Amino acid sequence: MANKRIFLIFATMALIMAIAYGIPEAMRLIDPPSATEPPSEVGYPEQQQQPDYLLDSISQAPGTGTIISEMLAQTDDSKPDASIMQPGVFMCEEARELFLATPRMEGEDVREYQEALARLGYHPGTADGIYDHEMSTAVEAFQKEQRLLPTGRLDIPTQSALVRVYEDRATPGRPREQDQEQDPDPDTGQDHSASPPNTIQSETRILINLYAHQLTVLINGKPHKTYPVAVGKKQTRSPLGEWKIVSKGIWGNGFGTRWMGLNIPWGIYGIHGTNKPWSIGTAASHGCFRMYNRDVEEIYRMVSVGTPVDVVGDHYLFYAKLPGTYKKGNRSQGVVTIQLRLKQLGY
């Protein structure tokens, strides 16, 4: 009888959590990997994009990063409390091959390629996310124009060519870097230098405005250059807070040409190039910050490991419903949001 009562209590608690926070949040338990190696992306269900609201002044308050760093320094050996983690924002991009198959291949990536080909003057049919005969014919036409083997298959070489052509039109007159940095390890591509070649020798800081979809490089506190970026979409928001670059590397097609990992403790997040340049300027990522490959190559030489990265924007309404009880050692966007709110109130 006692066992039955215990079972009913736990079942009731699980039902309440599922109703209050949604089944994915109630059930998803993830032990996040390291930010130094960006893995392949996992899929998430698409939802209608919710517009951003007003720029939240509390996220611009200085010193939040110090509070966060102190909290994490005291709990280095403790694992994140999975019960209060936001739903999996741990992967950044994917690069799968697409082709005509039965049943038809479909997904958000197919729709994005359909839209990109249409913007370049090809005719892939309706942007419905289904890789059909019209899509295959459009890919074949693109391959012929680019002197690739006309298979109608969106393989990695074809995707790379599509990215290159799209970026040529989006950022005219700006050549891509062809030379490789001398510092990265030739076996791993990891940059072990504290100061990469041609780094601007002054106080450099990065400011990312989620509301404006912009990344600004600050030199000695003054704006040096601003770039458009893609940020996290509604269900996989980019993390607010004061962070820093903890790793740099040269990566392959899935992440564009450069990767700069951030010290966000509940997942893998970074600033990187992209194989989806048509998403730049929108809220479309799984939490990372996508840039045109030309742009990320440019800032890669301006920053070093340890460069501060401030992420500002209005997520307070989104994170207003904070689940559970927070305790020492918890790591999540909810903790950061509470810290920012307390700072605004003068604590």
Concerning whether 315 is annotated as a catalytic residue, the answer is: no
Report d(CA 334, CA 210) in Å as an integer: 17
Report d(CA 122, CA 120) in Å as an integer: 6
Amino acid at 57: S
Length of the chain: 347
Concerning whether 288 is annotated as a catalytic residue, the answer is: yes
H helix and E strand count, the chain:
8, 11
> One of 92, 213, 286, 288 is an active-site residue; which one?
288
Integer angstrom CA distances of residue 268 from 15, 31, 249: 30, 11, 14
**At residue 199, what are phi and psi to the nearest 5 degrees?**
-65, 140
C-alpha dihedral over 54, 58, 62, 67, to 10 degrees? -130
State which H helix or E strand residue 113 sits in.
helix 108-119
> One of 213, 272, 286, 315 is an active-site residue; which one?
272
> Please, are residues 217 and 289 in contact by the beta-carbon 8 Å criterion?
no
Residues 6+ apart with CB under 8 A from 304: 193, 194, 195, 196, 199, 204, 245, 248
Beta-bridged to residue 226, according to DSSP, are 216
User: What angle, rounded to 10 degrees, do the helices at 64-73 and 333-344 form?
Assistant: 130
Residues with a catalytic annotation lie at 272, 288
